[in-house]
Amino acid sequence: MAPTKVAIIGSGNIGTDLMFKIIRGSGTLELAAMVGIDPASDGLARAARLGINAVSTGVDGLVEQPDFQDIDIVFDATSAGAHKYNAKVLVAAKPSIRLIDLTPAAIGPYCVPVVNLDEVLEASSINMVTCGGQATVPIVAAVSSVVDVVYAEIVASIASKSAGPGTRANIDEFTETTSRAIEKVGGADHGKAIIVLNPAEPPVMMRDTVFLLTPDADREKISRAVEEQVARVAAYVPGYRLKQDVQFDEIPADEPVNVPGVGAFSGLKISVFLEVEGAAHYLPAYAGNLDIMTSAALRTAEVVAEHVQNLEVTKA
């Protein structure tokens, strides 16, 4: 089958990294257009040099392109606020368009590929949560497959240099969207997310810490579930890894801790420490936060494209 034509809106760090991933490693997708609003942006300049249609007039300019109707999937790597407008324009111009949303706008269902990709294939708009969500929700889901997760808290620490204007504009939405995904996709009863922009020099790699509170359970089974989940994520994000063995601490019944939204809790505290090294397709390897988002979005779009093509063959 011919590759599915796609476009990227957002010529910043995330969009440009995604562009390189598509043109270097996807046999399923063909990048037809790179879209931005700054004619002088590095992403648009690089796209033009690569022979890709570089559109500097935003989504309105994209839908006016002669070959727009040939584009079946659009990635949005702008901001939560901009995505709401972009989605309206795109759907009005082509109702059958599929959107892969890399912003925290969350118009469509959340998607974390190793957890629920099969469940969202029919959605017209799929939300990729956040970089922190892509890194940590798989761990919450893995533990939830073994025991009820009463509370899950994640701390995502990324290098300040890897956080572009879009990321900085979305900080509030990041925490809200990630917290909801911890519950809706990860399966935790209560979730909380924190993001830290680390100004350290030299820049540090993305680090994610996942704290979970559960009733006492088979610790070996939990560790195995986490390790297997890490391997599944690493299949499309090679730099994703555990920093150390899963840690367990018991909170005794006579010394409970007070947990927001839960109250007094005693049981098992599980700590999982992760690191995400980027593939350095566009930014340096410390920008794992970009790599995990673009890798997850690419994986999702490829599966969606194959699903749509298979449906078309079945109908034919």
pLDDT, tens only, 163-222: 877 778 778 888 999 999 999 999 999 999 999 999 999 999 999 999 999 999 999 999
The pLDDT tens digits of the residues spanning 51-93 come to 999 999 999 999 999 999 999 999 999 988 899 999 999 999 9
Other C-beta atoms within 10 Å of 280: how many? 14
For the chain, the distance separating the N- and C-terminal CA atoms, rounded to the nearest angstrom, is 14
Residue 212 and residue 151 in contact, taking contact as beta carbons nearer than 8 Å: yes
The pLDDT tens digits of the residues spanning 94-135 come to 999 999 999 988 899 999 999 999 999 999 999 999 999 999
| Among candidate residues 296, 306, 304, 299, the one with its CA nearest the CA of residue 138 | 296
Residue type for position 151: Y
* SS3 of residue 37 by DSSP: coil
pLDDT range class, residue 260, cuts 50, 70, 90:
confident
Percent of the chain past pLDDT 70, that is, above it, reads 99
Summarize the annotated binding site for NAD(+) as residue ranges. 11-14, 162-170, 289
The pLDDT tens digits of the residues spanning 11-42 come to 998 999 999 999 998 889 999 999 999 999 99
Residue 38 and residue 56 in contact, taking contact as beta carbons nearer than 8 Å: yes
Distance CA 316, CA 312 (A): 6
Strands 240-242 and 267-276: antiparallel
The pLDDT tens digits of the residues spanning 63-72 come to 999 999 999 9
* SS3 of residue 172 by DSSP: helix
| Among candidate residues 111, 110, 188, the one with its CA nearest the CA of residue 146 | 188
Give the predicted TM-score (pTM) of the model.
Answer: 0.94
Residue positions annotated with a catalytic role: 131
* Domains, the chain: 4-128+292-315 (3.40.50.720), 131-285 (3.30.360.10)
Instruction: Name the strand (E) or helix (H) holding 273.
Output: strand 267-276
- Give the tokens for residue 37: 């609003």
Summarize the annotated binding site as residue ranges. 11-14, 162-170, 289
